[in-house]
A = this chain, B = another copy of it.
Amino acid sequence: MQQRWADRDEVDVYLGVGANEGDREAAIRTAIAALAVTPGIAVVRVSRLRETEPVGGPPQGRYLNGAVHLRTALAPHALLELCKALERAAGRRFDGVRNGPRPLDLDLLLYGDRELDTRDLTLPHPRLAEREFVLAPLRDLGVDVAVIPRPVAGPRVFEEPDAFAAWCDARRRGGCELGLVPTMGALHDGHASLMRRARAECERVAVTIFVNPLQFGAHEDLDRYPRTFAADLELCRQAGVDAVFAPRVDAMYPPGFCSRVAVGREAETMEGADRPGHFAGVATVVARLWSLARPDRSYYGRKDAQQVAVLRRLQRDLGLSGALVECGIVREPDGLAMSSRNRYLAPADRRAATVLHRSLRAARDAFAGGQHDRDALLAVARAVLDAEPRGRLDYLELRDEGDLAPLPAGRVPRGRMLCAVRFGEPPTRLLDNLSLRGADEEEPW
């Protein structure tokens, strides 16, 4: 909750000042003079100005750099707006060129000991510690630069739901759009593609890593489901993820937990028939994660197409999250859809497992060749699956491309073929699906 103005005490604020165009010193001195007469701001002290080389950006002249110590009760964003007004008054244009030349550059470096992470302002300044041209003037002003909090390298990791919810809430209140990538860990490049897309589309990205017991049946692979937390965290770091939420089971489901979220039709067949209770478990954990994070967008892989249909239904019915983004399947070079469960496969099964993709592709090719009859297309895929003795078919279905509703027999104008096949003992179930109109399939990020 923001603080009421009248409650706020004056704080010590440090501002970076710089210029590398026109009369640099005059621009800096004029801005400082303007700050000194601004209501609510007292200029305490100004550092020595130094000549420094530009960092990044196009070829440009040397900078004159310094820092100013202010006392003020004006909020950080009010100061930011005043700085922008001074930059504009000095003739600066906001033309989108990063690190380009500028007649005046003002940066909020420190606002008391306040830490802030909003869309347009992060405090302490995130690149402060890397910049000697900022640190030197701060030392002039008597700031102990060694005690300034450094930005954390890699994602912030949360175990406690409340702390994660508070982190998300603070970013949302700071105007950031938040992307959420829920996972069960054992991350692979399929997950990474979700993170890359979230990174491109959202100002802050959170990944959740939680092997959700509610979505595993009594005889399923909960205990042997792969846990690779250190590698997962490194993958998140490389994908530029801001926060990882990895709760313990008893934090997600405290003693006495007994609520369930369930959807109807979308959850009833295919995976829902093979794995009773699975989608209620998925819907319950996702509802809980959405409630905690309240993302603007959340990202799911199309490999679990029915899960996406279930969550889309949940999102429509209960309105729990922002947009749900369905992302293309990432495949191994031989076509096998990436899955955390692929690592269970014995080498011979791993080779045989390409049969899922091969069978779907055979149906897609037949469709492209003019075969549009539902049962004939299913027979084409089935023939490929039957030719692989190591796989035991759970289901093969041709469904509506959007909501995965069953299609009537006869001619189909479009559709998505889905299958589940078991390999080995204990069985490893693999899923795959493909649009009959393969060209419509979105490329993964």
Contact = CB atoms under 8 A, between A and B. Distances in A.
A228 interface: no
A243 to B, nearest CB: 17
Contacts of A4: 119-120
B80 A77 contact: no
A129 interface: no
B283 A40 contact: no
A177 interface: yes
A84 B5 contact: yes
Interface stretch (A257-265, A370-378, A425-433): A257-265
A118 to B, nearest CB: 9
B39 A2 contact: no
Interface string A12-40: 00000000000000000001001101111
A78 B291 CA distance: 32
B85 A319 contact: no
A173 interface: yes
B80 A2 contact: no
Given A254-B316, A258-B263, A81 B5 contact: yes
A94 B85 CA distance: 29
Contacts of A317: 253, 257-259, 288
A31 B80 CA distance: 22
Nearest to A31: B39
Nearest to A177: B1
B259 A81 contact: no
A6 B283 CA distance: 41
Nearest to A89: B39
A291 B320 contact: yes
Contacts of A2: 119, 175
A39 B38 contact: yes
A77 to B, nearest CB: 7
B81 A75 contact: yes
Q: List the number of copies, as a whole number.
A: 2
Nearest to A2: B175
Interface residues of A, number: 61
A136 interface: no
Interface in A280-301: 283-284, 287-288, 291-292, 294
Contacts of A177: 1
A41 to B, nearest CB: 8
Contacts of A254: 316
B291 A82 contact: no
Contacts of A78: 74-75, 77-78, 81-82
Nearest to A288: B318
Given A75-B78, A257-B316, A261-B318, 20 more contacts: A1-B177, A2-B175, A5-B120, A6-B84, A34-B37, A38-B39, A38-B82, A40-B81, A40-B86, A73-B85, A253-B317, A256-B265, A258-B265, A258-B317, A259-B264, A259-B318, A260-B262, A284-B318, A287-B318, A292-B319
Interface of A: 1-2, 4-6, 31, 34-35, 37-41, 73-75, 77-78, 80-82, 84-86, 88-89, 94, 119-120, 161, 165, 173, 175, 177, 253-254, 256-266, 283-284, 287-288, 291-292, 294, 313-314, 316-320
30 contacts: A1-B175, A4-B120, A5-B84, A5-B120, A6-B84, A31-B39, A38-B38, A39-B82, A39-B85, A40-B82, A40-B85, A40-B88, A40-B89, A41-B85, A73-B85, A74-B81, A75-B77, A78-B81, A256-B316, A258-B263, A258-B317, A259-B262, A259-B263, A259-B264, A260-B261, A260-B262, A261-B287, A261-B318, A287-B287, A291-B318
